[in-house]
Structure 1
Amino acid sequence: MKDKGRATKSNGSSRQRLSDLLRSVDELNASIKSEKRKLVEIASPLDLMELRAEKAEKAAKAGDVALEALKILQKNSLEIIRAGDIAMAALRATIRENDADAAEKQMALEELAKVIEKNTVSLKASALAFSAVNELAFHDELTGLPNRRLLNDRLWQIIANNKRWDSYSAAIFIDLDKFKLLNDEFGHEAGDELLIAVGKRLQHCVRETDTVARYGGDEFVILLSRLNGNLVEARAEAEEVANKILASMAAPYKVHVHQNHDPVAVIDYQCFGSIGVAMFGGDDTEANSILDWADEAMYWAKSEGGKTVRIYDAKNSTEQTLIGLYELATHNDIETANHGIRTRQYVKTLANRAKDMNLFPGELTNQIIERLFKTTQLHDIGKTKIPYAIIHKKEKLTPEEWVEMKKHTTYGADILRAAKKQNTSLSDFLNTAIDVAEAHHERWDGTGYPKGLAKDDIPLAGRLMAIADVYDALISKRSYKNAWTHKDAVNEIVSKVGTQFDPLLVEAFKLEEDHFNLIAENAID
């Protein structure tokens, strides 16, 4: 009887959970429909960007809730079908052994068959719904291409296959040149139409076994799998495909110009791309760096005026030149080895969003964002001068130890200034690194350290890094604390707007919080 009581309680809990989930799906879907209706009331590109981000966030949440609800529905239907099959088999055996009450038993069999059929239909319907929701979770809504989540999954699969077959593959990072001009001059409908057309052209340039993904905004990533086992020949194959993509993109696109959301004209619009290529094999330790390499090569292409292909080469990489500093930065803090990898991706994501929103005109060019990306990994380099016992202490620091810990910002700036004197060719990069290291613990209200700077007196690089650093610290497990959930970390940052963090950057952060979460998931300690 106790087991039955527990089962009844469990079933009731399951039904209540399912009811709550379905109600949440309805509420979220209603909210999304409401946001769609707002499209006709868009006043500016900034309004549109904010609305799209909110809509995407709500759609993602609806998808997650719907998936959980569908899993419960499927589980319940399967359990009913299995129980019904067992009961029907038992009844048939009883009829064969004893035909007493055969008519009543036959009626019970027919009723059970109806129940099973009903739940079989329900199971098929939920399977179709599951497939549809799964499609939304792993594909870009506008272009239908794989999104970042599916791209990362495919990347890991390709690395595993490379290891098995001793082959090489390539990641091709594509950024559209001057895409913003089209949006500004002809509106977002024209921009959306171009993105869809570019996605189709990219698919025609590669094999069906390759992956074409929309990475975000006007960026696309292609994964070429199973190239030649010889690196030189594999690189030649990848370069040939990249040049094929470049030529394909150069042909004019037919784009509709809209007025009040209705097409009124068709124009020929030529859009080029900057393309970066990174080769990789079967070394899974490189997984978190492959797209960064391709991205770096893309920025190299863009810095030369675009419309070109560049291939990542570690020997000639600025990042490779800085590798000694990176190793120094993590030497005394092994526990946070991936912290630098994650935070530089957070900073790049946040800076790109702020650039798209035009929050800091002239302060966030592509070149500056690239410098931020390459140097934010050095933000805690000053900790190399902090005693090991303080860095790794599991208990709360004493006031004296805390005073020493806070010196890592000035120590870091001093180390980087010394490095700049010895590497004058890296002055621009190291100036950015100095701003990040020295200012990422300053606070918007002037109560931070080491200089007590406030508001716009804090270098923008430091204000960007402050959000990235705090978010990652909150969601990471450390010897002295448990990891916070993504939602709690977001709420904490939003609650400190105007006191600890730049209000404009917090607005940009709220629009990119899902990307922050994805970055964290893909570079776990």
Structure 2
Amino acid sequence: MTHTSSAPHTDADEALHAAQVVVFALATLAELRDSDTESHLLRVQNYVRALCGELQKNPAYAATLTPAYVETLVGSVPMYDMGTIGIPDRILLKPGRLTPDEIAIMRTHTTLGHDALVRAEKTLGRVSPLLTVAKELTLCHQEKWDGTGYPKGLWGEQIPLSARIVALADVFDALISNKVYKDGVSVDRAVEIITEARGSHFDPALVDAFVAVQDTFRGIAVRHADTDADMQQKIEYMANAIAEVAVL
């Protein structure tokens, strides 16, 4: 028998849910521009939750990864790539290798997303503590443990824990996911690639946690896999975008 809660939803609950729906909806539009789907966001959210669950066993991380922090982090995941909205289609959807100038423009998606949140807070007259993690994710999800990432070249624990966690989850999903212009690799190969990047791209402790829960990642990838309809949507969007660029 399925039991459901009989507690009524308060106005505050409904307001929070509505805000979460809007954030997720806007995030899926951003992901569509990058030939991704809402399934990608669901997968990354679930990967993040799995990583946090394993990291909570590590005394060095347990104090930070409280239940409230984990919920905030998971809820902030849809915003991490929002800056891609500001990247032109000719660069974002280019199937070939980007030029150095195009790479420089592409990399601005980190600062574009972060600065948009900061400006919105200033415009509305108040800094929101609940957006601290979202600002960390937008700005720092492309940083690398060894300092070779961007936009600031942060290294080690200079990189916020939130961004280190999402970076690993995002890379795993990018590796296994089929794109319009390339097929994803196998889960086994993705595990190898991430393990090889232990201490270079990724926090070693996060890689160890990932290896411990890799079967959970596999299950999430299957449960929230892109559908044929998702792939068709990506193909149609990219075809329309490329056609518009060609006209221009």
What's the TM-score bracket when you normalise by the shorter of the two chains? 0.7 to 0.9
2:73/2:133 contact within 8 Å kept:
yes
In 1, Cα distance between equivalents of 2:81 and 2:94: 17
Instruction: Give the structure 1 partner of residue 36 of structure 2.
Output: 336
In 1, Cα distance between equivalents of 2:125 and 2:75: 17
Q: Note closer, same or farther for the CA distance 1:423–1:375 as it changes in structure 2 (3 Å cut).
A: farther
2:30/2:82 contact within 8 Å kept:
no
How far did 1:435 drift?
Answer: 0.4
Amino acid at match of 2:5: E
Instruction: Give the structure 1 partner of residue 113 of structure 2.
Output: 412
Q: Normalising by the residue count of structure 2, what TM-score does the alignment of the two structures yield?
A: 0.82
1:452 aligns with 2:165: no
Higher alpha-carbon Rg:
1
Equivalent of 1:500 in 188, 201, 205: 201
1:377 aligns with 2:78: yes
2:194/2:207 contact within 8 Å kept:
yes
Instruction: Give the structure 2 partner of residue 316 of structure 1.
Output: 14
* Cα root mean square deviation, aligned: 2.3
Instruction: Give the structure 2 partner of residue 48 of structure 1.
Output: none
Q: Where do 1:32-431 residues align within 5 Å?
A: 210=1, 224=2, 238-239=4-5, 316-334=14-32, 335-337=35-37, 338-421=39-122, 427-431=128-132
Q: Note closer, same or farther for the CA distance 1:423–1:524 as it changes in structure 2 (3 Å cut).
A: farther
Q: Normalising by the residue count of structure 1, what TM-score does the alignment of the two structures yield?
A: 0.40
Partner secondary structure for residue 359 of structure 1:
helix
In 1, Cα distance between equivalents of 2:75 and 2:217: 18
1:383/1:408 contact within 8 Å kept:
yes
2:50/2:213 contact within 8 Å kept:
yes
Instruction: Give the structure 2 partner of residue 473 of structure 1.
Output: 174
Amino acid at match of 2:148: T
> Residues 115-162 of structure 1, C-alpha deviation per residue, up to 9 Å, x if partnerless?
xxxxxxxxxxxxxxxxxxxxxxxxxxxxxxxxxxxxxxxxxxxxxxxx
How far did 1:423 drift?
Answer: 6.2
User: How many pairs does the alignment contain?
Assistant: 223
Amino acid at match of 1:325: V
How far did 1:465 drift?
Answer: 0.7
Question: What fraction of aligned residue pairs are identical, expressed as a percent?
Answer: 35
How far did 1:400 drift?
Answer: 1.5
Q: Note closer, same or farther for the CA distance 1:443–1:467 as it changes in structure 2 (3 Å cut).
A: same
Instruction: Give the structure 2 partner of residue 227 of structure 1.
Output: none
1:329/1:382 contact within 8 Å kept:
no
> Residues 341-362 of structure 1, C-alpha deviation per residue, up to 9 Å, x if partnerless?
2111111110121012333142
Q: Note closer, same or farther for the CA distance 1:393–1:317 as it changes in structure 2 (3 Å cut).
A: same
Partner secondary structure for residue 356 of structure 1:
coil
Amino acid at match of 1:239: S
What are structure 1's unaligned runs of at least 5 residues? Answer: 1-209, 211-223, 225-236, 241-308
How far did 1:519 drift?
Answer: 1.0
In 2, Cα distance between equivalents of 1:439 and 1:392: 22
Partner secondary structure for residue 326 of structure 1:
helix
In 1, Cα distance between equivalents of 2:122 and 2:95: 37
Partner secondary structure for residue 446 of structure 1:
coil
Amino acid at match of 1:326: F
Amino acid at match of 1:476: S
Instruction: Give the structure 2 partner of residue 97 of structure 1.
Output: none
Partner secondary structure for residue 453 of structure 1:
coil
How far did 1:313 drift?
Answer: 8.4
2:143/2:153 contact within 8 Å kept:
yes
1:443 aligns with 2:144: yes
Partner secondary structure for residue 336 of structure 1:
coil
How far did 1:425 drift?
Answer: 8.1
How far did 1:317 drift?
Answer: 5.0
1:510 aligns with 2:211: yes
In 1, Cα distance between equivalents of 2:60 and 2:74: 19
> Residues 215-261 of structure 1, C-alpha deviation per residue, up to 9 Å, x if partnerless?
xxxxxxxxx1xxxxxxxxxxxx7336xxxxxxxxxxxxxxxxxxxxx
Partner secondary structure for residue 383 of structure 1:
helix
1:359/1:504 contact within 8 Å kept:
no
Amino acid at match of 2:183: N
Amino acid at match of 1:330: T
Amino acid at match of 1:453: L
Q: Note closer, same or farther for the CA distance 1:411–1:487 as it changes in structure 2 (3 Å cut).
A: same
- Between 1 and 2, higher relative CO (CA 8 Å, sep ≥ 6) is seen in 2
Q: Note closer, same or farther for the CA distance 1:370–1:441 as it changes in structure 2 (3 Å cut).
A: same
Q: Note closer, same or farther for the CA distance 1:437–1:319 as it changes in structure 2 (3 Å cut).
A: farther
Partner secondary structure for residue 360 of structure 1:
helix
